Amino acid sequence: MSKNPAQPIILSPADIDRVIEMGWEDRTPFDAIEAQFGLAEKDVIALMRREMKASSFRMWRARVTGRATKHRALRPADVTGFKSDQQRNISLNKISKR
């Protein structure tokens, strides 16, 4: 994988699958995809368009367009991440009791 702006970013099939998976996840912002794979939002959209069926791509675009969780700039300032009420704390490599 190359992050040089002059060269296109080359992704393995596993990386492409992971980018698509992260794109579908509601809580994964485009900024996280860019940090991990070097793909800007427009690059993720182009990859999704190229790799997915047309109907799946249209459904995905309808879901993420304007979605605050996919765009950090649209998130409220007090929201830094997501943690489910069912998620347990991990300390000293053991799952703590509630």
CA distances (Å), origin 87, targets 73, 78, 81: 26, 20, 13
Give the Å distances, CA to CA, from 71 to 57, 86, 88.
Answer: 18, 25, 27
pLDDT value, residue 20: 92
Q: Which residues pair with 91 in a beta bridge?
A: 94
Within 10 Å of residue 60's Cβ, how many Cβ atoms?
A: 17
pLDDT one-digit tens code per residue, 54-70: 999 999 999 888 777 77
**Rounded Cα distance, 10 and 16, in Å:** 10
> Which tops the pLDDT comparison, 61 or 77?
61
- The predicted model scores a pTM of 0.64
The domain ranges of the chain are: 13-76
